[in-house]
């Protein structure tokens, strides 16, 4: 079971192995992404294992939403930097202005990170996501940031 959030809806997508190792996906049920409690008709559409997966996924999503916006931004940054690096590699070029802005921001951030190294602690700020993939977590974080900004 895979869960996808789009347009304020959560899609519960079942993946089944098809012929010749082709995976077939089917949307089993969709519900409002703002709900904190899942309606019985949604749960009844899922198997017991899928219900458990959905509950774990919701726990992970709530873990992200319970964080302060500053923690969310810091948690998202490594994923955003990786995506940005990939974007630069795939673009034919970036403007001189954007290159300068990125260089300045990254240098400033790096200096601040080094200056605050002694304040680093054991994983207080990183949520312990057990069932949500890093790409799903990044999507959720971007949604949180969008609402906050």
Q: What is the pLDDT of residues 20-74, one digit of tens each?
A: 667 888 999 999 888 877 889 889 999 999 999 998 888 888 887 777 778 878 8
| pLDDT value of position 128 | 67
> Are 1 and 50 contacting, i.e. CB atoms less than 8 angstroms apart?
yes
pLDDT-derived band of residue 125, with 50, 70 and 90 as boundaries? low
| pLDDT value of position 122 | 63
In the block, tokens 């994983």 appear at 123
Helix axes 69-90, 134-148, angle to 10 degrees: 120
pLDDT-derived band of residue 4, with 50, 70 and 90 as boundaries? confident
For residue range 66-110, list pLDDT tens digits in order.
Answer: 777 788 788 888 888 998 999 999 999 999 999 999 999 999 999
| pLDDT value of position 38 | 84
With 0-12 CB in 10 A as exposed, 13-18 as middle and 19+ as buried, what is 41? exposed
**Torsions phi, psi for 2 (to 5 deg):** -125, 145
């Amino acid at each position: 079971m895979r869960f996808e959030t789009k347009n304020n809806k959560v899609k519960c997508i079942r993946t089944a192995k098809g012929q010749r190792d082709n995976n077939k996906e089917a949307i089993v049920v969709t519900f409002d992404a703002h709900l904190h409690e899942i309606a019985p008709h949604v749960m009844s559409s899922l198997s017991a294992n899928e219900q458990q997966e959905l509950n774990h996924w919701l726990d992970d999503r709530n873990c992200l939403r319970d964080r302060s916006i500053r923690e969310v931004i810091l948690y998202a940054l490594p994923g955003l930097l990786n995506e940005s690096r990939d974007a630069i590699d795939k673009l034919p070029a970036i403007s001189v202005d954007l290159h300068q802005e990125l260089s300045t921001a990254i240098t400033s951030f790096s200096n601040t990170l080094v200056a605050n190294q002694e304040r680093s602690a054991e994983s207080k700020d990183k949520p312990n996501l057990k069932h949500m993939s890093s790409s799903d977590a990044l999507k959720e974080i971007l949604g949180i940031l969008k609402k906050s900004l």
